[in-house]
Amino acid sequence: MSACLCLLVLCLPAIVSAHQPYCEFADLTAQAPWQVPDPAISYAYFGNVYPGWDIDYFAFDAHAGQSILLSLSIPANDENEDAIYAPLMAVIGPGLPGELPPELPDGLQVPADAGAKMVALGDAPAYFYEPYGRVHFWNYEDDFFRAPQDDRYTVALWHPDRQVGRYAFVIGQREVWGGDLECFMAYNIYWTPIIEGANPYRDTPMDELLHEPSRVINMDARDAPSLELQVYRLADGSYNLQLKTSNFSFSPQNIDKAPVIGEGHAHLYVDGVKLARIYGQWHHLPTLPPGAELLTVSLYANNHQGFAFNGEVISASVRLADLGSK
């Protein structure tokens, strides 16, 4: 071990003795949550809400009746800050109320056999100086979640107004030395603002953030868009595609902005491989890959969430073999 690293490790106990620090180097999703090693031990997970529609997920295993501390700290630079970043959190899992809280965001899916309850954080965070790390936080109130049964539970975190920002998710009470050395080395970045358009994640590409396929907006039958695809083969071997929709309008001027129900764009796929975005009713396709068999178009919101019905993105397909030949 180098002398420099030895010195850093010797400095670690003070900062990590209160909460073991971990950082969101890769964007957390429902499919890839941060797995809390032991919810009885105190951890501080430094994360980002980015893009604005982002929902971060934390999973932990609990025993029936176990009381688990949940809280939230916001890195602070000034005691007189006008606006304190205020994400919301909810616990999801079996044995919780089946009547879902109205605060849950559209992109959050709760399994059929699970319920959800909001984490009570209060609305008046306290300004706090952390002497070991020599940094300030806005600390929200502690909430104690009591597990209804032996099972796995998930905490979801999001911002109700889709504002980007940084936070520290706190879980557990027992102080044990530890944490992630890489996180400690990157610790100070969480006291700098997120810049819109700049990727705050080391291990998640920006394109993946904007095109996360698992994020959908589920619609009911009354409001769900409909989509019909017609394909016309032209004499020069190219194709014209016509998209007929209802409850939907194309909005190329709003791409990458917040989602609006019933507006957005379409994605064009050839045999399951994305080929292009479509921003209007008509689209010209000059050529196709050799051996292409199936054209599919799907409807997406401005922020690239798929519009879905019964959990499936609203799509229409045409087999090229059904077009006949000229």
Residue 106 is which amino acid?
D
Distance CA 211, CA 276 (A): 13
Distance CA 305, CA 90 (A): 21
With CA atoms as reference, report the closest residue to 126 among 163, 179, 73, 169.
73
Q: How confident is the model at residue 131 (pLDDT cuts 50, 70, 90)?
A: confident
246 shares a domain with 131: no
228 shares a domain with 169: no
Domain count, the chain: 2
The answer on pLDDT for 208 being more than 80 is no
The answer on pLDDT for 44 being more than 50 is yes
Q: 288 or 259: which carries more pLDDT confidence?
A: 288
Mean pLDDT within 173-194: 90
CATH code of 174's domain: 2.60.120.380
Parent domain of 82: 3-210
Contact partners, residue 272, CB within 8 Å, separation at least 6 = 294, 296
CATH code of 285's domain: 2.60.40.10
pLDDT of residue 119: 98
pLDDT of residue 240: 96
Mean pLDDT within 297-321: 88
268 shares a domain with 222: yes
pLDDT of residue 189: 92
Distance CA 65, CA 209 (A): 37
205 shares a domain with 228: no
